Amino acid sequence: MLTNRLKVRRSLAALVSFAALGLLGALQLAAAASDDAVRVYRWVDAQGIVHYGDSVPPQFADDAHDVLNDQGVQIGHVAAQESAAQLSAQAQAAQAAAQQAQHDKFLLTTYASAQEIEQLRDERLDQIDGQIKASSSYIDSLTLRLDALEERALHFAPYSSAPGAPPMPDELVEDLVHTMKEARQQRSELETKQQEQINLRIQFASDLERYRELTSHSSS
């Protein structure tokens, strides 16, 4: 008789235990469902005012915002999405940094001292200076030739005021046109060389400054 009672008690205890476990699982599922369902979002507008809502307005969707549960505890954060302009600026900055690193490596592996840079600078500048002098001399000769051709053209119509002046010969016209074009082209090339000389001075000055900065860091 006692044995049967013990069996009944054990059966009832098992049933109560299973029921308790089932209830606990149901409560956990309900809590999880509640956590999934209740969301509060917090964001800041351009004026620095903090806003709360059950959803983020479209105009703030790309901005950073926090996710809170129904107790007001932060359970998540969404970082701001970068604009196309920001991504482009970052890409340009990364490219500039990579180019600077590559140029730094070139400076350190090409030159053993700042004096070598100065020597190369002087050689390059002397070379361009010689080209500029040659171009200037050629332009002077073209100018003298053009003056002589224009003086000759004054004896022909339509530049001569003498009655019955003959028309300008074709070969003179061609010579004038050719000389003027050549002089114009040479002046343009001279300006290009002069600008190249200026750019070269700037580039070597920058390289010298950067080389000294790099070598002073490595030596220290």
Q: Which pairs count as long-range contacts for 65-68, CB under 8 Å and 24+ apart, including other chains?
A: 65/41, 66/41, 66/42, 67/39, 67/40, 67/41, 67/42, 68/39, 68/40, 68/41, 68/42
Could you tell me the pTM of the whole model? 0.59
Q: What is the C-alpha radius of gyration for the chain, rounded to an integer number of angstroms?
A: 43
* Average pLDDT for 9-35: 45
Residue 87 has pLDDT above 70, yes or no: yes
pLDDT at 55: 85
pLDDT at 36: 52
Rounded-to-integer distance, Cα 120 and Cα 126, Å: 10
Burial of residue 112 (CB within 10 Å: 0-12, 13-18, 19+) is: exposed
Average pLDDT, the chain: 83
pLDDT at 25: 47
Tokens representing 184? 């114009």
Q: Half-sphere exposure of residue 141, counting CA atoms within 13 Å on the CB side? A: 7
CB 101 within 8 A of CB 155: no
pLDDT digits (tens, 9 = 90+) for 35-68: 455 788 898 888 889 888 888 888 887 788 888 8
Strands (E), the chain: 40-44, 50-53, 65-68, 74-78
H or E segment and range at residue 150: helix 114-153
pLDDT digits (tens, 9 = 90+) for 129-141: 999 999 999 999 9
How many other CB atoms sit within 10 Å of the CB of residue 114? 14
CA-based nearest residue to 126, from 212, 204, 207: 204
pLDDT at 61: 79
pLDDT at 199: 97
